[in-house]
Structure 1
Amino acid sequence: MDEWKDLQLRKLSCEQDLQKAYRLVMNFFNNQGFEYCAFTAYSGLPGRCASKINLNNYPYGWDRLYEQNGYAANDPLVAHCNQSALPILWDEHVFSEAPKLREDLVRQGLRYGWTQAVHDEKSSCYSLFSLARTHCRIDAEEHYGNLGYAIFASQKLHTLASKKLARLPSPKTCPLSPREIEVLRWSAEGKTASEVGRILCLSERTVNFHVCSCMRKLNVTNKISAVAKAAHIHVI
């Protein structure tokens, strides 16, 4: 088994194609007992639009469910990784303030896992790497036994993704006004239009006007999707 690991890591270190590298990583961790592997890279600073690369073998429909429910706005894994490169294990405590997200993860078979971030000090590119499975809790011994491999894999994918993102056209200036961003930010906190209005000293009608404007500019059909998309492009 150690020889197989060594061979796979050597192949990964030499691979220059992001998709092929991801498949090598996914195969490696499938053999380590993880059914699911996800990698997402962003180019852009918080508060500005960003380019994005997303690779995962999560159950069909998960990405759409995640966006439709606006989970990006209150995902504790994303919040942690935005601030730290330390890995975070998925458990009930982590999702204490996002129980619906936890419930949907478990329903989809994404019960046990961990996520870690790669922050690039030389550029605005950063990425998230996650491993997950349906059964068997991840204990400390297994976590640290695989952590070195996960760090190596995430760094390699991050390097390839950074090169790919650098070749993409620069993202356009964020279309939302500062006031629209404020409205979406408070909406992401779960505030109603009436509550947002009181906070920002606006009428409820004006708040709804800004929400509709955000929906139009972000090309979505409802407020939840507007919040999700704004979070994805790091406007909020």
Structure 2
Amino acid sequence: MALQSWRQEISECFSNETCKKRIFKKIKSAAADLGFERCAYTLYIPVPISRPQVYQVDDFPEEWQKRYSLADYHHIDPSVAHCRKSERPVVWNDELFASAPELWREAQSHGLKVGWSQANQNTGSLRGVLTLVRSSVPLAEAELKVSEPLMSFLASASYEAMGRAMKALHGTHQKAFLTSRELETLKWTADGKTMGDIAQILDVSENTVRFHLKNATAKLQSPNKTAAAVKAALLGWLD
């Protein structure tokens, strides 16, 4: 499978798609082409800070989905921990799951024996994780050498597509509705500036700054200007 033609095919396949169900169906098809029977895509939205939102779609066995949720395995899953701090791909194995042997045994008992995960994240923004899984045939170095560039490209393409779909569905695309002045006042607020400071920096009245911050806060559905600035920063809108 040629890398260049694969990239083009995947890019065209996901182009402008905003339905997460259709996107996942395309991810599944691409995963099958790469030799994997099952897959999952998880998207982490970093707001609100106290309870960040997590969206996951997968085709794992229903019994495993229920067990994973009931046992709260997400909080001890070593593959999740790895993808939280690194964008390097990781292959599931005994060493990776040494800290969670029961989770590993149960996953394998449900046919999730050979796995690969990779995270993608823009600075201060959404984090997405693609997981590819099959029930047999370990991932050998020879296969990884050939297929991992394709797998990583699929992870990247999936991140862009799923991120676009989730933003459209859950309203995290509000940057388009913030004016340049609203973004500017939020940026200075995030830097710890008072309204008086911002008024001097922008050479406008304090009432004007208050007006922009009030509008931005309302658009971001935040309780105050500080929360609005934090939310905008976490979503990568103040870069």
Is 1:164 the equivalent of 2:170? no
Is 1:19 the equivalent of 2:25? no
CA offset at residue 47 of structure 1?
5.6
Cα distance in 1 for residues equivalent to 2:14 and 2:156: 10
Is 1:128 the equivalent of 2:129? yes
2:23 and 2:162 in contact (8 A); partners too: no
Aligned to 1:116: 118
Cα distance in 2 for residues equivalent to 1:78 and 1:12: 27
- SS of structure 1 residue aligned to 2:131: strand
Aligned to 2:215: none
Gaps of 5+ in 1: 171-236
Cα distance in 2 for residues equivalent to 1:136 and 1:54: 26
CA offset at residue 169 of structure 1?
5.0
Letter of the structure 1 residue corresponding to residue 34 of structure 2: Q
Aligned to 1:44: 46
Aligned to 2:226: none
TM-score, scaled to structure 1: 0.64
Matches within 5 A, 1:1-236: 5=6, 8-17=9-18, 18-44=20-46, 48-121=50-123, 123-167=124-168, 168=170
1:8 and 1:28 in contact (8 A); partners too: no
1:8 and 1:24 in contact (8 A); partners too: no
Cα distance in 2 for residues equivalent to 1:6 and 1:127: 19
TM-score, scaled to structure 2: 0.63
Two-structure CA RMSD over aligned residues (Å): 2.4
CA offset at residue 7 of structure 1?
7.0
1:141-163 deviation digits (Å, cap 9, x = unpaired) = 21232222222222222122223
CA offset at residue 93 of structure 1?
0.7
1:113 and 1:130 in contact (8 A); partners too: yes
Cα distance in 2 for residues equivalent to 1:66 and 1:153: 25
CA offset at residue 15 of structure 1?
4.8
Cα distance in 1 for residues equivalent to 2:126 and 2:32: 27
User: Bigger CA drift: 38-47 or 70-79?
Assistant: 38-47
Q: Among all aligned residue pairs of Structure 1 and Structure 2, give the percentage whose two residues are the same amino acid.
A: 22
